[in-house]
Amino acid sequence: MTRAHPHIARMSPYTLAELNAPKGKPLISLSQNESLRPPSPTAVEVAARALGSSMLYPDPDWTDLRHALSDLHRIDAAGILCGSGSLDLIGGLARVFSGPARAVLAPAHAYPFFRTAAQLADARFDTAQEVDAVVNVDALLAAVKPDTGIVFVANPGNPTGTRIPKSDLIRLRQGLRPDILLVIDEAYGEFADHLDERCFDLVQEGNTVVLRTFSKAYGMAGFRVGWGLFPPAIAAELRKVMNPNNIPASAQIAAAAAVRDDAYMRETCAMTATLRDRASAKLEQAGFAPYPSFTNFLLLNMGSPGAAASADKRLRSQGIFLRPQGGAGLPHTLRMTVGAPTAMDKAITTLNQWKKEDQA
């Protein structure tokens, strides 16, 4: 029987959310960080029309989408690459710029796919400690080794929900060797854009990439569209390993329409922030400790791994699914997506009952 490469054989499958509600219980999924709102109606409409031309290959240069993004963010369209979700771009960057001789570095509680991408490239994955689930630039710089090739930082973070200011990212870039690629993953960037600290200009400063996605604020997880702004030399190398037909035509057209319906997306972000902050306040009043969040989810500090497991078991018994974060080095936490108010209220009520009965 054909054998996999040793570094692939050593890997564990990527951990997916478990969503099997008990018999008779409706499923309430607050585990995937999906949008509480569908995509822009305009995006859905143009995608439906585009299906009639599905006998044609999609545009391999994502021309209209790139120009829509360029117009919105006032960035150079030539520097934009698009992928099948930002995971596509993260994986490609790891394959091209890391490997057995070039390690990957990330914060301790970083997005778990950063580790997976490093493993796929047969690269060592190093981590730097965080402080209260917040990225620490000094720790990252201290963790750099002679063979470090890429530093991944999600800002805002997943699963933490926390963020660092742009000034810290500038300090990180300035403190890294010029040959180290800094990848800033802003999958949740739209939820923090009101802070006016977008990082696209850092791409011009040197060996830096900024990534975003349509899966969160745009409510288009099912369309699988991600994008990023790249220096020309990085983009040229990454294109060599990318599928030239990676995003279906209907998804490209829908994403471009969503970009041009900026007001709808901003309204989604505002609605999400209102529900998130309301839920956070309720949880705090009940004695829970959610971390500060700049995303569409809350990370709950349950106090201990045992308490997190116990609460998770109670929630699942009611068909309510949050996301345990042991895989991100946070076994004492549960991550709660901001969803419909009724779903959030039921989850909080169940947590309150658990606290009174099991933690008394």
Quick check: 70 pLDDT over 70?
A: yes
Residue 220 lies in a domain: yes
Spell out a b/e string for 311-337, using b for 16 or more CB atoms within 10 Å of the CB, else e: bbebbbebbbbbbbbeebbbebbbbbb
The pLDDT confidence band at residue 8, using thresholds 50, 70 and 90, is confident
Do 220 and 81 lie in one domain? The reply is: yes
Quick check: 12 pLDDT over 80?
A: no
Do 24 and 63 lie in one domain? The reply is: no
Quick check: 22 pLDDT over 80?
A: no
The pLDDT confidence band at residue 359, using thresholds 50, 70 and 90, is low
Do 206 and 287 lie in one domain? The reply is: no
Q: Which two tokens stand for residue 212?
A: 């975003």
Determine the average pLDDT of the residues in 330-334.
Answer: 96
Q: Which of 322, 345, 299, 290 is nearest to 30 (CA)?
A: 322
What single-letter DSSP state applies at residue 158?
T
Residue 135 lies in a domain: yes
Model pLDDT, residue 10? 76
Residue type, position 199, single letter: C
Determine the average pLDDT of the residues in 151-178.
Answer: 97
Residue 252 lies in a domain: yes
Q: Which of 159, 135, 113, 149 is nearest to 293 (CA)?
A: 159
Residue 130 lies in a domain: yes
Quick check: 72 pLDDT over 70?
A: yes
Do 67 and 201 lie in one domain? The reply is: yes
Residue 151 lies in a domain: yes
91-144 tens-digit pLDDT: 999 999 999 999 999 999 999 999 999 999 999 999 999 999 999 999 999 999
Determine the average pLDDT of the residues in 277-292.
Answer: 95
Model pLDDT, residue 300? 97
Q: Which of 222, 243, 261 is the last residue of a domain?
A: 261
Do 159 and 12 lie in one domain? The reply is: no
Model pLDDT, residue 277? 97
For the four alpha carbons of 170, 176, 177 and 178, in that order, the dihedral sign comes to negative
Of residues 230 and 16, the one with the higher pLDDT is 230
The DSSP element (H or E) to which 265 belongs, if any, is helix 262-285
**Which residues are CB-neighbours of 305 under 8 A, at least 6 positions away?**
326, 331, 332
Neighbour tally for 253: CB within 10 Å:
24
Provide the residue range defining the domain that includes 176. 43-261
Residue 103 lies in a domain: yes
Give phi and psi for 51, each to the nearest 5.
-60, -25
Do 110 and 218 lie in one domain? The reply is: yes
Strand partners of residue 226: 83, 213
Q: How many domains does one find in the chain?
A: 2
Do 67 and 160 lie in one domain? The reply is: yes
204-217 tens-digit pLDDT: 878 999 999 999 99
Do 233 and 296 lie in one domain? The reply is: no
Q: Which two tokens stand for residue 44?
A: 């859905």
Do the Cβ atoms of 208 and 182 come closer than 8 Å? yes
Q: Which of 230, 261, 292 is the last residue of a domain?
A: 261
Do 282 and 200 lie in one domain? The reply is: no
The DSSP element (H or E) to which 83 belongs, if any, is strand 80-83
Of residues 359 and 212, the one with the higher pLDDT is 212
Model pLDDT, residue 360? 59
Do 213 and 319 lie in one domain? The reply is: no
Residue 351 lies in a domain: yes
What single-letter DSSP state applies at residue 162?
-
The pLDDT confidence band at residue 7, using thresholds 50, 70 and 90, is confident
What single-letter DSSP state applies at residue 286?
T
Do 144 and 113 lie in one domain? The reply is: yes
Rounded to an integer, what distance in angstroms lies between the CA atom of residue 148 and that of residue 134? 22
- Map tokens 């963790």 to a residue: 143
DSSP 169-210: HHHHHHHS-TTSEEEEE-TTGGGGGGG----GGGGGGSSEEE
- Map tokens 């400790």 to a residue: 289
The pLDDT confidence band at residue 166, using thresholds 50, 70 and 90, is very high
Q: Which of 211, 227, 261 is the last residue of a domain?
A: 261
Residue 1 lies in a domain: no
Quick check: 149 pLDDT over 90?
A: yes
Q: How many CA atoms lie within 13 A of 255 on its CB side?
A: 31
Model pLDDT, residue 267? 97
243-257 tens-digit pLDDT: 999 999 999 999 999
Model pLDDT, residue 347? 96
| pLDDT averaged over every residue in the chain | 94
Q: What is the CATH number of the domain that holds 305?
A: 3.90.1150.10
Rounded to an integer, what distance in angstroms lies between the CA atom of residue 68 and that of residue 86? 18
Alpha carbon distances (Å) from 298 to 17, 277, 306: 16, 9, 19
Do 172 and 29 lie in one domain? The reply is: no
Spell out a b/e string for 195-211, using b for 16 or more CB atoms within 10 Å of the CB, else e: eeebbbebbeeebbbbb
Model pLDDT, residue 19? 65
* pTM recorded for the entire structure: 0.94
Radius of gyration of the chain, Cα coordinates, nearest whole angstrom? 21
